[in-house]
Amino acid sequence: MERNSQTNVLANLASSFPVETNLELFRKICDNKYFEREVCNTYHEKKVKMPVFYLSGGSETIPAALSIILKEEIRQKRLNIFAQHRSHGYYLAFGGDPVKLVDELLARPTGCAKGMGGSASIHCPNIGMYGHDGLMGSNIPIAVGYALGTVFERPQNNNKLVLAIAGDAAMEEDYAQAGIAWSHLRSLPVMFICEDNNYSVMTEVEVRRKWKMVDVARAYKLNSLEFSDDPWTIMHYGRMLKETTPSFMNIFTCRQYAHNFGLPQQSLEWDRFNLVKQELNRIGLENAINEIEENSRLRMEDLWKQALQ
C-alpha cells in the first residue's frame, strides 16, 4: 500500500463522533502541537541544556486519538504505556502534568522523572507511563514482559492493557520483533503502535528495507492494520484492535521536526493538523476549534514563560 495522507483512511468519519469528543480530540492535538513549538523555541534560545530528541510535532493525532478510545482504561488505571518514540505527546494526551514535563526538560528535580530522564525518557507512574533506557526499540520486549506479568496476577487484576509505541526504525530491531512474535504465543494484552514517519534519523524506509512491518506482524499472527494518521480512522480501528490483542497498528505520519535538536523537517509529505482543521470546519466547528487553538497556544506560551522566570 502506497504511503500517503489517505492510505486506508475512512472518509467522513468525523461527523459520526459526538461534538464533545471532536473538541476534546482537537484540544489534545493543539496542546501537543503548541507545547512542542515552545520546546523548540526554548531550546534554540539555549535555555534547555539537555538534548532534545523525538519531538512529537506532526504526529499529534496518534496519542490524542488513542487517549480518547482508552479513556475508560485510563480512568480505571488499567493502562500501562511504554512509549520510546516521541513520548511528549503520549505524556500530555494521557493526563500527565505539563508543568512537570517542562521541569523535566529543564532538568529540575520537580520534573516528571525528577529531571533525570529528559526528552527521550519520559517517566510518570501516576499515569502508568514508564521511561525508556535509550536502546532503540527496547521498550517493546519490556512492555511484553510487563504484559506477561499481568497474566500471573489475580484474575480480577489481569485485565490490564499495555501500549507499546516505537518508530519504524525501532521496530526493525531483532529483540523488538522477538517481543512482538512472543506476544502472540501467550495471547498477551498488548497494542503495538508503530509511528511510521519514514525515517531512521535521516534514512528513509526504502533505503533500509524492502519488507513492511505490518506484513511481519501479520506473519506473527497479530491482528494488524496499516493506515495514515487521520485521528478518526485511528479511533475507529483502535476500538476494534484493543479488543483483539495482541494487535499491531502501523500508522503513517509525518514528523514536523527532525530527529534531534528541534530542527524543522525540510519538507512535509502532508500536514495532518491542517487536514484535521479542514474536516472539523466541514462539520461546522470552525468557531469552536479556532478558540481552542488560540487558548492552547496562549496557555503553552504562558506555561514556559512562567517556568523560565
| CATH classification of the domain holding 164 | 3.40.50.970
Classify residue 46: in a domain, yes or no.
Answer: yes
The angle formed by the CA atoms of residues 96, 97 and 99, to the nearest 5 degrees, is 145
Cross-strand pairs, 248 = 192, 224
Is 112 within 8 Å of 97 (Cβ atoms)? yes
Classify residue 4: in a domain, yes or no.
Answer: no
**Tens digit of each residue's pLDDT (9 = 90 or more) over 293-308:** 999 999 999 999 999 9
**Angstrom distance (rounded) from CA 204 to CA 190:** 27
Classify residue 49: in a domain, yes or no.
Answer: yes
Classify residue 2: in a domain, yes or no.
Answer: no
Average pLDDT, rounded, for the chain: 91
Classify residue 227: in a domain, yes or no.
Answer: yes
Residue 157: the pLDDT is: 55
Closest CA to 143 of 255, 245, 252, 251: 245
The average pLDDT across 202-224 equals: 91
Classify residue 258: in a domain, yes or no.
Answer: yes
**Percent of the chain residues past pLDDT 70, beyond the cut:** 95
Could you give the residue ranges of the DSSP H alpha helices within the chain?
19-44, 61-69, 71-75, 88-93, 98-105, 139-151, 174-185, 205-208, 213-219, 231-241, 272-282, 286-308
Q: How many CB atoms lie within 10 A of CB 286?
A: 13
**Residue of 95 and 257 predicted with greater confidence:** 95
**Percent of the chain residues past pLDDT 90, beyond the cut:** 70
Classify residue 275: in a domain, yes or no.
Answer: yes
Residue 46: the pLDDT is: 82
**Tens digit of each residue's pLDDT (9 = 90 or more) over 68-91:** 999 999 999 999 999 976 789 999
Residue 264: the pLDDT is: 72
What is the tally of structural domains in the chain? 1
- Could you tell me the residue range of the domain that residue 23 belongs to? 14-308
Classify residue 185: in a domain, yes or no.
Answer: yes
The model's confidence at residue 158, banded by pLDDT at 50, 70 and 90, is low
Closest CA to 184 of 218, 159, 209: 218
Please determine, for residue 237, whether its predicted confidence score (pLDDT) is greater than 70: yes
